[in-house]
């Protein structure tokens, strides 16, 4: 059993209106799960033996706007980090919650059962210099390093064994001046599927959705949505019927382009494969436990 987990930063289930780039016909890959081509609050939850869609809570019984640090720590540990911190906090993991990623994360749990996780995102050298200097790692990179897994670099990109944060590798070329080839979203998705041939859990993080939500720029938001759409569509169509695809987020943002902040909207949980392990999920704290139980019982 392979689980591919796609974490999309800053995507909530918002209203069906012109301020929501994901509404109407904005996200055609969503048709695979619900029969509709838009993600908004008008969609009814769906669960069959192979498909699940439901909005899940990201507020975690804490007032204020959810943030990436506590939200992602919760998502990747299965423990309510906002409750521990006493607030929502971001963008980096809060000091009193780091232990969840350093000792009790999804990756730690997968390794403890004798299985192999892989984090497919690669990072340029400048990222490592800045993170090491400040000792400020994102939730996914802190989890990966703490689990004893090396983060992927330019070397892995050149070998076709990693994916950049913007999928096509174009920003590495255009903004960082790195000599890496531009690839298609289909080629990027294929890298995840290939990684699954030697791994049990494949994780990929896409953060440009959150950046687009903060931008208040509808054209940019549409561009990022349309970049992600065929990537997700290909994965949903191509994953083996014996494996499971999980897609979720940490907080809302992109679904309301009229405001610069995050939202208190629920976030989507999408599953293709073994849906029964996620049917009782109510919040982002329930995603990791579902993945862990699925992998444990697939022995």
Average pLDDT over every residue of 91-114: 97
To which H or E segment does residue 102 belong? helix 98-103
Reference 79, options 63, 95, 102, 100; nearest CA is: 100
pLDDT for 29: 85
Domain tally for the chain? 1
Reference 120, options 231, 226, 215; nearest CA is: 231
pLDDT, one tens digit per residue, over 55-81 is 999 999 999 999 999 999 999 999 999
With respect to residue 89, please indicate whether it lies within any of the assigned structural domains: no
Q: Strand runs (DSSP E) across the chain, as ranges? A: 3-8, 46-47, 51-56, 117-119, 201-206, 244-248, 267-272
Q: To the nearest whole percent, how much of the chain has pLDDT over 90?
A: 85
Q: Is there a contact between 9 and 209 (Cβ–Cβ < 8 Å)?
A: yes
pLDDT for 253: 98
The helix-helix angle for 218-238 and 208-215 (nearest 10°) equals 160
pLDDT for 136: 86
Instruction: Give the strand pairing for 117-119 and 201-206.
Output: parallel
What gap in Å lies between CA 76 and CA 67, rounded to an integer?
A: 14
For residue 168, the enclosing domain spans: 3-60+110-297
- The two tokens of residue 178 are 């790195």
With respect to residue 79, please indicate whether it lies within any of the assigned structural domains: no
With respect to residue 51, please indicate whether it lies within any of the assigned structural domains: yes
With respect to residue 14, please indicate whether it lies within any of the assigned structural domains: yes
With respect to residue 210, please indicate whether it lies within any of the assigned structural domains: yes
Other beta carbons within 10 Å of 121: 21
Average pLDDT over every residue of 180-186: 93
* pTM of this structure: 0.97
With respect to residue 222, please indicate whether it lies within any of the assigned structural domains: yes
pLDDT, one tens digit per residue, over 185-213 is 999 999 999 999 999 999 999 999 999 99
What gap in Å lies between CA 279 and CA 256, rounded to an integer?
A: 27
CATH (domain of 219): 3.40.720.10
pLDDT, one tens digit per residue, over 110-135 is 999 999 999 999 999 888 888 878 87
Which of the 8 DSSP states describes residue 275?
A: G
- 286 pLDDT exceeds 70? yes
With respect to residue 65, please indicate whether it lies within any of the assigned structural domains: no
pLDDT for 26: 67
The helix-helix angle for 68-75 and 139-146 (nearest 10°) equals 40
What gap in Å lies between CA 56 and CA 59, rounded to an integer?
A: 9
Average pLDDT, the chain: 95
Average pLDDT over every residue of 162-177: 89
Reference 79, options 270, 283, 271, 277; nearest CA is: 283
With respect to residue 88, please indicate whether it lies within any of the assigned structural domains: no
pLDDT for 299: 67
């Amino acid at each position: 059993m392979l689980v591919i987990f796609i974490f999309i930063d800053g995507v909530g289930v918002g209203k069906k209106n012109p301020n929501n780039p994901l509404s109407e016909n904005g996200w055609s890959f969503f048709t695979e799960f619900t029969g509709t081509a838009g993600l908004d609050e008008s969609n009814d939850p769906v669960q069959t033996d192979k498909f699940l869609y439901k909005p899940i809570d990201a507020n975690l019984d804490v007032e204020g706007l959810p943030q990436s640090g506590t939200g992602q720590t919760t998502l990747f540990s299965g423990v309510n980090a906002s409750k521990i911190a006493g607030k929502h906090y971001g963008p980096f993991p809060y000091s009193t919650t780091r232990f969840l990623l350093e000792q009790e994360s999804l990756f730690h749990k997968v390794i403890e059962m004798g299985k192999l996780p892989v984090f497919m995102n690669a990072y340029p050298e400048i990222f490592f210099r800045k993170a090491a200097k400040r000792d400020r790692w994102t939730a996914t990179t802190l989890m990966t390093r703490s689990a004893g897994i090396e983060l992927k670099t330019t070397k892995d990109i050149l070998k076709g064994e990693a994916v950049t944060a913007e999928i096509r590798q174009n920003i590495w070329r255009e903004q960082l001046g790195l000599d890496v080839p531009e690839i298609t979203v289909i080629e990027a998705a294929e890298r995840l599927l290939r990684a699954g041939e030697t791994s049990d859990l494949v994780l990929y993080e896409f953060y440009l959705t959150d950046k687009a939500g903060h931008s208040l720029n509808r054209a940019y938001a549409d561009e990022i949505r349309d970049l992600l759409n065929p990537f997700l569509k290909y994965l949903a169509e191509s994953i083996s019927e014996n494996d499971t695809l999980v897609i979720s987020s940490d907080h809302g943002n992109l679904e309301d382009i009229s405001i610069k902040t995050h939202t208190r909207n629920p976030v989507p949980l999408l599953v293709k494969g073994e849906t029964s392990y996620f049917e009782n999920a109510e919040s982002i704290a329930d995603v990791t436990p579902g993945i862990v139980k699925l992998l444990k019982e697939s022995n």
